[in-house]
Amino acid sequence: MMPSGFTRFFARTPLHVVLIGLAIVWLLPTVGLLITSLRPPADVAQTGWWTIFQHPFDFTQYSIRNYRSVIYEAGMGRAFLNSLIVSLPGTVLPVLLAAFAAFAFAWMDFPGRNVLFAIVVGLLVVPLQMTFIPVLSIFARIRIAGTFPAVWLAHTGYGLPLTVYLLHNFMAGLPRELFDSASIDGASTLQTFFRIILPLSVPAIASVVIFQFLWVWNDLLVALIYLGGASSVGPVTLRVANLVGSRGQNWELLTAAAFVSMALPLFVFFSLQRYFVRGILAGSVKG
Amino acid sequence: MRTRRITPWLFTGPALLALIFFLVYPSIETIRLSFFGKYGTSYVGFQNYIYAFTNQTMLTAFRNNALWVVLFTGLTVSLGLLFAVLLDRVRYEKVVKSIVFIPMAISMVGASTIWKFVYAFRPPGASQIGLLNAIVVALGGEPVGWLIERPWINNFCLIIVGIWIWTGFCMVILSAAYKNIPRQLMEAARIDGASEWQVFRKVIVPLLGPTIAVVTTTMVVFVLKIFDIVYVMTNGNYATEVIANRMYKEQFAFSHYGRAATIAVVLLILVVPMMLVNIRRFRRQREMR
């Protein structure tokens, strides 16, 4: 006997309660952050953010003043710029080097190829902590500790094992005929790379770029080590972490600052969700 | 592909040099440093390792990392599995999936700030602006200093932040694997009179076994190195220290390079076996495909 729609609905009520309940639990902390960042400091200090729902359409209780103060006075504007300055080369450099290397590992014959590739992939297991002391002491000696080039270079080195591995997997799956016809046409290796391999690898490169960009943008540890804790060149993560330490009770500022630091990743998430998910999944094994 | 002899080296050279400079050489140097003293000049044998395994704060860090491994891994994987299986049965699957996955997009610093606000504490009598204490007080309880109550409440509260971030990751992977299970297998079990719970235990879980294993090892490897959440929320105070934060302190607060290097090596020793299991499994899966 088929259950009627009515009993079916009731039988499934617990399922909906559990799922919607969990979804609300997942969403509430972020909603609280967003609402608090839009409330005046005096309100934030006196009442919980949920009290706005007593009269949600009273727009006098919202203001963007907190954003103005974190961006101009608390240094989040500068930090946002720093994050861009850190993230763009910190993404382009490793992906570019990795694309060249992945192509060679996938399609060229040379002595030691398999061993070298195994070593590159093996480096994925190395926790970054293993590298901080020696690399920092070299950076200090050549006087780039605490500057942007230090983090660019560090992110390039740290990002390579994974980007090489992922791009290699993709490029190795391209059909052999491509290369045969290219060499018949007399294309040089470099031409083959730029005209055939790179354009065909766009989906893989997009995923890797998104992952590396978010990794660098959201990174705290590498910035902390190579730029220093209180640095004026610090990215948003460093600035927010400092604010949590120094302005721990000013929740209107902390929430606005946190939201500024999250804005770009959230934009990427909502606009490029498919590539984003693929990139995260591919990149999850990173050290 | 035929190329000139030098070409492969021109293509791989820059990447290989960067890897040698940033990963290979420093790792070897760190292992060497772990046998040297505070400034890396005097040989001290295994003294740093004895310190790492006997110092009280280090032992706290080990205990907490063990707690993270068990609770964080157990709950991210099982909640991810729960979402994957249950969401498959409802029409709003995509919306809930997005909601659960969003925390993966933001930094752990951002997530820690979000949750520090949820845990905000004010003395009894004052109006609570933190969500959790407001609920506790509304139910007639006393407000709790969530991040101060050692050692179980505060550590558990930190771990919840990690779970909130990473459950979405487990969910997406497990969901993809779940949707690959042929529906007939579950239908056949149901026709044979199996309850939903039996279908889950006897059909779904065994078939998802390899994926669950990969997700679990990935979570363990990740959580052994957990740093940001603890650094931002408590900085390891109130008995919430973890290994990676301890290394940071040894390097920068105490400038004891020998000990910092040793803690890094300990981390490596903990991570490598899990990672090897993971890589081997990845490879086996790829061969099966």
Identify the closest residue of chain B to A48 by CA–CA distance: B129
Task: Name which of A106, A255, A19 is nearest B117 in CA terms.
Answer: A255
Q: Same domain for A49 and A136?
A: no
Cis peptide before B26 (omega within 30 of 0): no
B20 contacts in chain A (CB < 8 Å):
none
What amino acid is encoded at B196 in this protein? Answer: E
Can you give the three-state secondary structure of chain B, one letter per residue? CCCCCCHHHHHHHHHHHHHHHHHHHHHHHHHHHCCECCCCCCECCCHHHHHHHHCHHHHHHHHHHHHHHHHHHHHHHHHHHHHHHHHCCCCCHHHHHHHHHHHHCCCHHHHHHHHHHHCCCCCCCCCCCCHHHHHHHHCCCCCCCCCCCCCHHHHHHHHHHHHHHHHHHHHHHHHHHHHCCCHHHHHHHHHCCCCHHHHHHHHHHHHHHHHHHHHHHHHHHHHHCCCHHHHHHCCCCCCCCCHHHHHHHHHHHCCCHHHHHHHHHHHHHHHHHHHHHHHHHHHHHHHHC
- Calculate how close chain A gets to B118, using CA atoms only, in Å: 7
B233 to A76, A262, B113: CA distances (angstroms):
20, 17, 8
Tokens found for residue A244: 């949590």
Yes or no, beta carbons of B114 and A113 under 8 Å apart = no
Residue where a domain stops, chosen among A31, A47, A63: A63
Helix (H, G, I), strand (E, B) or coil at A126: coil
Q: What band does A12 get if pLDDT is binned at 50, 70 and 90?
A: confident
Yes or no, beta carbons of A218 and B109 under 8 Å apart = yes
A109 contacts in chain B (CB < 8 Å):
1, 8
Residue A211: the pLDDT is 87
For B34-66, give one letter per residue: b (16+ CB within 10 A) or e. Answer: bbbbbebeeebeeebbebbeeeeebebbbebbe
**How far is residue A284 CA from its own chain's centroid?**
11
Q: CB atoms < 10 A from the CB of A52, how many?
A: 18
Beta strands in A73-210 (DSSP E): none
Residue B42: the pLDDT is 92
**Which phi and psi (to 5°) does residue B217 adopt?**
-65, -40
Domain annotation for chain B: domains and CATH numbers:
55-255 (1.10.3720.10)
Q: What angle do CA B79, B81, B84 make, to 5 degrees?
A: 110
Share of chain B above pLDDT 70, in %: 96
Residue B283: the pLDDT is 67
Q: Is A237 exposed, middle or buried (0-12, 13-18, 19+ CB in 10 A)?
A: buried
Residue A282: the pLDDT is 63
Q: Same domain for A166 and A35?
A: no
In the predicted structure, residue A88 carries a pLDDT above the cut 50: yes
Q: Same domain for A76 and A40?
A: no
Q: Same domain for A195 and A84?
A: yes
Q: Same domain for A24 and A141?
A: no
- Of B156 and A278, the structure prediction assigns the larger pLDDT to B156
Choose the mutation target among B129, B161, B200, B262 for the interface with A, i.e. most A CBs under 10 Å: B129
Residue A255: the pLDDT is 94
What CA–CA distance (Å, rounded) separates A16 from A22?
10
What CA–CA distance (Å, rounded) separates A179 from B134?
65
B56 to A199, A221, B241, B246: CA distances (angstroms):
56, 25, 11, 12
Identify the closest residue of chain B to A47 by CA–CA distance: B129
Identify the closest residue of chain A to B34 by CA–CA distance: A130
In the predicted structure, residue A231 carries a pLDDT above the cut 80: no
A45 contacts in chain B (CB < 8 Å):
129
A70 contacts in chain B (CB < 8 Å):
none
Yes or no, beta carbons of A134 and B115 under 8 Å apart = no
Q: How many Cα atoms occupy the beta-carbon half-sphere of B24 within 13 Å?
A: 14
Contact call for residues A19 and B86 (beta carbons, < 8 A) = yes
Tokens found for residue B157: 């509260």
Q: Mean pLDDT, to the nearest integer, of B177-205? A: 90
**Which of B1, B5, B118 minimises the CB distance to A179?**
B1
User: Global pTM?
Assistant: 0.91
Residue A155: the pLDDT is 96
Identify the closest residue of chain A to B282 by CA–CA distance: A285
What distance, in Å, lies between the first and last C-alpha atoms of chain A? 55
Q: Same domain for A12 and A84?
A: no
Q: What band does B25 get if pLDDT is binned at 50, 70 and 90?
A: very high
Yes or no, beta carbons of B129 and A32 under 8 Å apart = no
Domain count of the fold of chain A: 2
B103 contacts in chain A (CB < 8 Å):
26, 30
A205-224 per-position pLDDT tens digit? 988 998 899 999 999 999 99
Q: Same domain for A138 and A204?
A: yes
Q: Same domain for A49 and A91?
A: no
- Calculate how close chain B gets to A73, using CA atoms only, in Å: 19
Residue where a domain stops, chosen among A33, A63, A93: A63
- Calculate how close chain A gets to B57, using CA atoms only, in Å: 19
Mean pLDDT, chain B, integer = 91
Q: Mean pLDDT, to the nearest integer, of A219-242? A: 90
B90 contacts in chain A (CB < 8 Å):
15-16, 19
Identify the closest residue of chain B to A97 by CA–CA distance: B15
B268 contacts in chain A (CB < 8 Å):
125-127, 129-130
Task: Name which of B99, B167, B84, B132 is nearest A26 in CA terms.
Answer: B99
**Which of A100, A224, A268 minimises the CB distance to B105?**
A268
Yes or no, beta carbons of B127 and A32 under 8 Å apart = no
Per DSSP, A3 falls in state P
As beta bridge partners, residue B43 has B36
Yes or no, beta carbons of B103 and A26 under 8 Å apart = yes
Residue A232: the pLDDT is 83
Beta strands in chain A (DSSP E): none
Q: Same domain for A271 and A241?
A: yes
Residue where a domain stops, chosen among A13, A46, A63: A63
B96 contacts in chain A (CB < 8 Å):
19-20, 22-23
In the predicted structure, residue B287 carries a pLDDT above the cut 70: no
Residue A1: the pLDDT is 45
**Which of A129, A161, A192 minimises the CB distance to B264?**
A129
B80 contacts in chain A (CB < 8 Å):
none
Q: Same domain for A107 and A57?
A: no
Q: Mean pLDDT, to the nearest integer, of A42-69? A: 88
Identify the closest residue of chain A to B24 by CA–CA distance: A123
Identify the closest residue of chain B to A274 by CA–CA distance: B98
Q: To which residue do tokens 């249950």 refer?
A: B86
Q: Name every residue whose Cβ is closer than 8 Å to that of residue B59 and which is 6 or more positions away in sequence.
A: B53
- Of B99 and A6, the structure prediction assigns the larger pLDDT to B99
Q: Mean pLDDT, to the nearest integer, of A62-88? A: 93
A238-274 per-position pLDDT tens digit? 999 999 988 888 999 999 999 999 999 999 888 887 7
What CA–CA distance (Å, rounded) separates A163 from B172?
21
Q: Mean pLDDT, to the nearest integer, of A191-205? A: 88
B86-132 per-position pLDDT tens digit? 999 898 999 999 999 999 999 999 999 999 999 999 999 888 999 99
Q: Same domain for A179 and A149?
A: yes
CATH of the domain at A240: 1.10.3720.10
Yes or no, beta carbons of B96 and A19 under 8 Å apart = yes
**Which of B25, B221, B222 minimises the CB distance to A134?**
B25
Q: Is B89 exposed, middle or buried (0-12, 13-18, 19+ CB in 10 A)?
A: exposed
What CA–CA distance (Å, rounded) separates B271 from B221?
6
Contact call for residues B132 and A263 (beta carbons, < 8 A) = no
Residues of the domain holding A186:
71-283
Yes or no, beta carbons of B1 and A217 under 8 Å apart = no
Q: What band does A139 get if pLDDT is binned at 50, 70 and 90?
A: very high
Helix (H, G, I), strand (E, B) or coil at A232: coil
Q: What band does B167 get if pLDDT is binned at 50, 70 and 90?
A: very high
Q: Same domain for A34 and A91?
A: no
**How far is residue A83 CA from its own chain's centroid?**
11
Helix (H) or strand (E) holding A162: helix A148-172
Q: What angle do CA B9, B14, B20 make, to 5 degrees?
A: 100
